[in-house]
Amino acid sequence: MTIKVLRYSVVPLSLCATSAVLGQATDTFTPVLLEPKPIALNHISMGFQLGFNLKTSFKHIGKFGAANPGSTNSISNHFYDDGNNLVDSTGNQHFNGTGFTEGTWNWGYNNMANQVHGNGDVNGTVDMHSTSSAGGTSSGRSDDPQPGFMLTFGRELFRDEKDRWRTGLEWAFGYTDYTVKDSHAVNAKGTQLTDSYSLFGNTVPTSDNYSQDNGGSPNHIIIGDTPTRSSSTMAVPVSGTRTFGADIFAFKLGPYFEVPLNKTFSFSLEGGASLVYIYSKFQFNETVVTPGGLLNLKGSGVHDGIQIGGYAGAKISAALSDQVSLFVGAQWQDVGSYVHRDRKSGESAVLDLSQSVFFTSGVGYSF
């Protein structure tokens, strides 16, 4: 009887002890709520870039104007590369015994063999020349690659719920240090004007060059003052060097579209508008071979301007952590052609930025 009482008394006590222990455990452990991982909506990146297909053409190389041959009217001054025919002290009116002969004794030439024809003949002439040239062209000169850097800031605006794509807006600033040199020889197209003056049957001295002053000294030989004019084209050799340098500052704004490939890599496309400010320096030192002798042309100066256009590009990024990544990419840009023209000579350097390509690599940071 005693044993049964003890048995039935122990069981309830055990259950009470178990309940007490469970109650204590429930009070000790509290549930933990997991916060969602924050999304970095902003990113900045900085990288080194190399520019390709930035080409410069040099135009109007060796450009020069005519001496000042004047018109074909009489009683006027005519200047040439190899001589002159000027109004003399009589006003080109010379008494011949019965009247006046219109002509001048104020004239001269530089090369008898090339200029005097039929010396002493009734139809003899002296030819004088004036050459001009619009210059030649040295096209498509490039010293690729051109170094620079790019800084980009982006803001994510939308993303897919399952993070299969993201899109946003990017602003970028880029700088390129551009320099190109050219020393190619050029044959510029020239125009040679030839004025033929009658010798009036006179015989002129056979020296290589000859001239008379305003009063006709030393020989008072009178020749015609109204020329017969003709013209022809010719090649004008130009040698020398040209250097064009520019600081190119690019400002870009446009959308981007990014696709995560896996947890590490992502691929993105970008495009938009470009505004490019250019500050340039152009200098040249050239020698032009003209019929009248060698002509040295020198010039230098600075210029600036703004070009507007667009860009498109692609980029692959590799995440090193939640915030730091590496990237490589390429951009194509078209902002037209920039012209730097020397005001005095008209010679120009034309920088073609219509098909330029920039390869970039660097590091990015998301926050």
Question: Model confidence over 219-267: pLDDT tens digits?
Answer: 999 999 999 999 999 999 999 999 999 999 999 999 999 999 999 999 9
For residues 68 and 5, the model is more confident at: 68
Compute the distance between CA of residue 264 and CA of residue 248 in angstroms, rounded to an integer: 34
Q: Where are the alpha helices (DSSP H) in 233-300?
A: none
Confidence of residue 34 (pLDDT cuts 50, 70, 90): low
Average pLDDT over every residue of 362-367: 96
Token couple for 328: 């490589």
Model confidence pLDDT, tens digit, residues 297-342? 999 999 999 999 999 999 999 999 999 999 999 999 999 999 999 9
Q: How far is CA 74 from CA 71, 84, 227, 228, in A?
A: 8, 14, 8, 11
Cα–Cα nearest to 280, from 247, 321, 328: 247
User: How far is Cα 94 from Cα 77, in angstroms, rounded to an integer?
Assistant: 17
**Under 8 Å between Cβ of 62 and 188:** yes
Can you name the residues that pair with 263 across neighbouring β-strands? none
> Is a pLDDT exceeding 90 seen at residue 1?
no
Q: Mean pLDDT lowest for which of 2-6, 44-48, 72-76, 350-354?
A: 2-6
Q: Which residues does 282 contact at the CB level (< 8 Å), separation at least 6?
A: 242, 243, 244, 245, 299, 300, 301, 302, 303, 340, 342, 348, 349
Instruction: Specify the pLDDT at position 36.
Output: 66
Phi, then psi, of 166 in degrees rounded to 5: -140, 150
pLDDT digits 0-9 by tens, 169-180: 999 999 999 999
